[in-house]
């Protein structure tokens, strides 16, 4: 049985051929405003991608389109991928590492930054190893699997005088910047209710016979130790959107696991989960995520109006409106924009903004752990 890809989701969820085409070409898409800017000709940061899964391909295309960074190295446990990437991106042999000899990167002055794109359960190891090698680090979200791991990662980067960023690409996306503004500036008054949901139908719910090897790296989303689970993989987007639209941190959560259609496949991780977050202002966020059905939307109700997106939390293109008008923003290359904004700061030897640092990633993991505890115990869990 073949898993259903996230790209298939675009077509199946009724976004149409046009949206699917934009998503397919997203990593190389540059808006007209970007084209008219004067090209950057200064120093660029040399990046090594650690882990060459599907998303690494999108990052590589984003780096190719970027102004402030180069794809200069790779780290992979698959020799065949090393050969392919070396040829495709003209990567020198000396900048190609595997997971065993990775620490030798400390001697490589041609690598400035390591972008960790491995399963979440492996983020801690390679962020710490990168920090000890004196390299700045970006790691994909979620940052790690426990608050303790996040704290170790932050400490390692601080101890080695390097900076750590989390790959929050939507923090630079114009539609999301707008809903953040609408919420935090109370354009429609105080937001009282949020509904945020993201799910993909990643397997055939009618298939009860296929046996899945959860130790297979390609099935890491079903492996708890590797950071699997719908909440970790997808639900983090719902948590993030709720937090940055309100500009507040949740004070309590309740949660419920959803039905399990395949108990073999989901023996370690949840298929679906719903949770509710309470905020100091009195606002409530009702969130849902799943590996068993498609959903991608965000809705916020405020005292004097509302605003919403659908698609909302995936790769886009995002479609939205307020109670007064449609929301229309240019489609951007999210990976290029995120990387350029981070690399500009590092090239200027400035401190990364708080909203993308390890401290931000730690906040998400504390909330995720509280949601799991609430679902497991059936109790309201209060956050400190």
Residues annotated as catalytic are 141, 237
Let me know if 328 is exposed, middle or buried by CB neighbors in 10 A (0-12, 13-18, 19+): exposed
Distance, in Å, from the CA atom of 266 to the CA atom of 221, rounded to the nearest integer, reads 10
Helix (H) / strand (E) containing 47? strand 45-50
- Distance set, CA 189 to CA 215, 283, 300 (Å): 49, 12, 11
Q: State both tokens at 31.
A: 């808006």
Q: How far apart are CA 279 and CA 187, in angstroms?
A: 19
Asked whether the beta carbons of 49 and 60 are under 8 A apart, the reply is yes
Coil, helix or strand for 49?
Answer: strand
H or E element at residue 243: helix 236-246
Evaluate whether 75 touches 50 at the Cβ level (below 8 Å): yes
CA–CA dist 166, 15 (Å, integer): 29
CA dihedral 250, 150, 82, 234 (to 10 degrees): -20
C-alpha to C-alpha distances, 319 to 72, 87, 306, 366, nearest whole angstrom: 35, 38, 15, 30
Task: Say which residue the tokens 């050969």 belong to.
Answer: 83
- Please say whether the beta carbons of 47 and 63 come within 8 A: yes
Q: Do 381 and 252 contact (CB within 8 A), yes or no?
A: yes
Q: Which residue has the tokens 């109670």?
A: 323
Place of tokens 């016979």: 209
> Using CA atoms, how far apart are residues 252 and 270, in angstroms rounded to an integer?
21
Q: 3-state DSSP helix/strand/coil percent for the chain, to nearest 5?
A: 40, 20, 40
Return all residues near 278 (Cβ < 8 A) that are at least 6 apart.
Answer: 250, 251, 252, 253, 284
Asked if the peptide bond before residue 285 counts as cis, ω within 30 degrees of 0, the response is: no
């Amino acid at each position: 049985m073949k898993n259903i890809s996230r790209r298939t989701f675009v077509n199946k969820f009724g976004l149409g051929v046009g949206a699917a085409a934009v998503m397919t070409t997203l990593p190389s898409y540059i808006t007209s405003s970007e084209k008219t800017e004067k090209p950057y000709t200064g120093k660029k940061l040399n990046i090594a991608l650690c882990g060459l899964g599907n998303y690494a391909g999108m990052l590589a295309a984003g780096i190719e389109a970027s102004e402030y960074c180069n794809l200069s190295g790779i780290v992979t446990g698959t020799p065949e991928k090393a050969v392919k990437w070396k040829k495709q991106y003209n990567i020198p042999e000396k900048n190609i590492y595997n997971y065993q000899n990775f620490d030798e990167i400390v001697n490589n002055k041609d690598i400035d930054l390591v972008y960790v794109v491995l399963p979440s359960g492996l983020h801690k190891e390679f962020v710490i190893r990168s920090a000890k090698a004196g390299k700045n680090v970006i790691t994909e979200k979620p940052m790690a699997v426990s608050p303790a791991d996040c704290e170790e990662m932050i400490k390692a980067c601080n101890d080695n005088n390097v900076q750590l960023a989390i790959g929050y690409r939507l923090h630079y996306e114009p539609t999301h910047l707008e809903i953040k503004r609408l919420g935090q500036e109370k354009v429609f008054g105080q937001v009282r209710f949020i509904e945020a949901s993201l799910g993909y139908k990643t397997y055939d719910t009618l298939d009860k016979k296929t046996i899945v090897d959860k130790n297979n790296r390609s099935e890491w989303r079903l492996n708890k130790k590797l950071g699997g689970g719908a909440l970790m993989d997808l639900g983090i987007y719902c948590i993030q959107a709720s937090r940055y639209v309100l500009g507040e941190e949740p004070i309590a959560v309740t949660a419920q696991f959803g039905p399990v259609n395949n108990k073999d496949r989901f023996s370690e991780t949840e298929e679906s989960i719903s949770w509710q977050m309470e905020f100091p202002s009195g606002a409530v966020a009702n969130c849902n995520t799943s590996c068993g059905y498609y959903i991608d939307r965000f809705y916020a109700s405020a005292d004097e109006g509302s605003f919403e997106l659908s698609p909302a939390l995936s790769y886009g293109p995002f479609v939205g409106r307020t109670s007064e008008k449609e929301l229309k923003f240019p489609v951007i290359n999210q990976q290029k924009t995120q990387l350029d904004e981070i690399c500009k700061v590092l090239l200027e030897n400035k401190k990364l903004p708080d909203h993308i640092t390890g401290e931000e990633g730690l906040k998400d993991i504390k909330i995720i752990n509280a949601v799991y505890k609430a679902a497991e115990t059936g109790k309201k869990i209060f956050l400190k």
